[in-house]
Amino acid sequence: MNRNVIIFDTTLRDGEQAPGCSMNLQEKLEVAKRLEKLGVDVMEAGFPASSPGDLESVRAIAGLVRGCVVAGLARSLEKDIDAAREALTDAVSPRVHIFLATSPVHMKYKLKMTPGQVLEQAASSVRYAKKFCDDVEFSAEDAFRSDPDFVCKVFGAALKAGARTVNFPDTVGYAIPAEFGARIKYVKEHTPRMEKARLSVHCHNDLGLAVANSIAALENGADQVECTINGIGERAGNASLEELVMAIRVRRDYFSADTRIDSTQIYAASRLVSQATGVKLQPNKAIVGDNAFAHEAGIHQHGVMVKRETYEIMSPESIGIPQNRIVLGKHSGRHAFEVRLEEMGLSADDETLELVFAQFKDLADKKKTVSDRDIEALVMGAAAAAPETWKLDHWAVNTGSALGASGAIRLRHRDGEFKKLVSMGDGPVDAIFRAINKIVGREPELELYEIGAITGGSSSQGETMVKISWEGGHWNGRGVSTDVLESSIKAYLSAINSMEWELASRKDAARKGNTARPPAGRIRR
């Protein structure tokens, strides 16, 4: 019988807290639904005490997700645990995840606490959380750089106080696989009460070893691995979920272990996280990178054509990569469109479907053939988009090598009013973005502007990602179009709409005394 490895996903907490990876509420809800469909055992939804926004998003996710444990992170402080309790009220299976550092450098300089105080606080905070939540996890932050016997003592105290899982993080990504494996074995063997509890690991990727260290831990008795989609996370990131899961799945023969993950959902989850965060993947990223299944060398292509297994250890289908088939054209009806979405594992609520179908028709008019990747881009874009405060009506640019560029744009406000403006700029994109800023009456900072092609070839759709910031907040936007300037405008407007929506929701929540409930996400499954 295969041993089950518990997958604890922290994309929405450790992943989302990394610079440049922030998501708005709508995006977090979509990611949460995807993670549930993927089959993660535990989903860490956020760190409720870190901000009112985080508390609200954990609360919304806890109310939405039914199929897995939803965890909220807390420092070992009563006020943090209270915030986690509040945020997890509606969760079917809540978990409070408490952390406290145990390494000499953290205890002395960050916490200014003695080892004795840390030991006492670990136990008392778990006892406090246990009063309302049965499922408590305790993490010894920076465990790998801590004295192993001290970690065993702290873990023993946390278990005695009622923790069900103890987590051993390599917070700064310092460990080497064989060394990490040996440490996990030691902790497992020397922690009192470990027999009935679960041992977890949480590895960071500073030396590019997060997945290897997690695997070494599994080989030495760890029961749970903490990871993120696409490996996003602090600094160099966390262990990547897709790499861990597929290593275990492809090498089941070696590990005699498996996970509950539906691997055919991996690709969609990866794309969604990339689009929601605006963080693109390197082409050669294992499992989900664009080149992960591309065979360039003639000898490899020949081998794969004759017998796939010559150069492929897993199939693209096994992780749910849609074949880039030409599926639909401008004569395809709504029924065929819906059937294709279902085949791709995507569906949307009626309103989103209406919107996406209209966009598909528009695209099919411009492009003779529409591929799976095009459809996926439309659905993902519409699902995670905030309601449109501003909608694009018309645009035009004038540019050349000798003179500066000018951009004219007409937008329609949600209340029906049209606004039109012309602006000069350093180039066509700059000119048109300036015109948009003038209309919306804000001048956000453009932190990132990236443009690429969805399928390759000159008839491909352009895909633009932007990140903007305004008064301490950050928002992502994404746009696709057969015209690269239009995709840029759409991306910028989608970021502006996310910003407007969040600012309006915050105002509304403040007016109602913070009791406003966020809307549910839009992709339906």
Binding site for ligand KIV (CB under 6 A): 14, 99, 139, 141, 167, 169, 171, 202, 204
Q: Among 174, 238, 178, 175, which Cα is nearest to 202's? A: 238
Alpha helices per DSSP H over 161-310:
177-190, 210-219, 241-250, 252-255, 266-277, 298-306
- We find the least distance from the C-beta atom of residue 6 to ligand KIV, in angstroms, to be 15
Between 138 and 395, CB nearer to ligand KIV: 138
CA 54 to chain centre: 15
CA 45/CA 32 separation, integer angstroms: 8
Between 14 and 500, CB nearer to Zn ion: 14
* Binding partner selected for residue 141 from ligand KIV, Zn ion, none, CB under the kind-specific 5 to 8 Å limit: ligand KIV
Between 30 and 141, CB nearer to Zn ion: 141
CA 270 to chain centre: 8
- We find the least distance from the C-beta atom of residue 242 to Zn ion, in angstroms, to be 18
Written as one letter, the residue type at 431 is A
CA 189/CA 64 separation, integer angstroms: 39
Between 54 and 141, CB nearer to ligand KIV: 141
- We find the least distance from the C-beta atom of residue 142 to ligand KIV, in angstroms, to be 6
Q: Are 423 and 405 in contact (CB under 8 A)?
A: no
Between 14 and 54, CB nearer to Zn ion: 14
| 24-53 residues near Zn ion, rule: CB under 5 A | none
What number of chain residues touch Zn ion (CB under 5 A)? 1
- We find the least distance from the C-beta atom of residue 234 to Zn ion, in angstroms, to be 6
* Binding partner selected for residue 102 from Zn ion, ligand KIV, none, CB under the kind-specific 5 to 8 Å limit: none
φ/ψ of residue 413, rounded to 5: -75, 155
- We find the least distance from the C-beta atom of residue 17 to ligand KIV, in angstroms, to be 9
* Binding partner selected for residue 437 from ligand KIV, Zn ion, none, CB under the kind-specific 5 to 8 Å limit: none
- We find the least distance from the C-beta atom of residue 79 to ligand KIV, in angstroms, to be 17
Distances (CA, A) of 385 to 27, 96, 502: 8, 30, 12
Between 113 and 424, CB nearer to ligand KIV: 113
- We find the least distance from the C-beta atom of residue 72 to Zn ion, in angstroms, to be 15
Q: Among 7, 12, 13, 14, indicate the residue that binds Zn ion (CB under 5 A).
A: 14
- Sorted by sequence, the CB contacts under 8 Å of residue 504 that are 6+ apart come out as 389
Distances (CA, A) of 523 to 82, 356, 443: 31, 12, 31
Residue keyed to tokens 């405060």 = 389
Contact residues for Zn ion, defined by CB under 5 A: 14
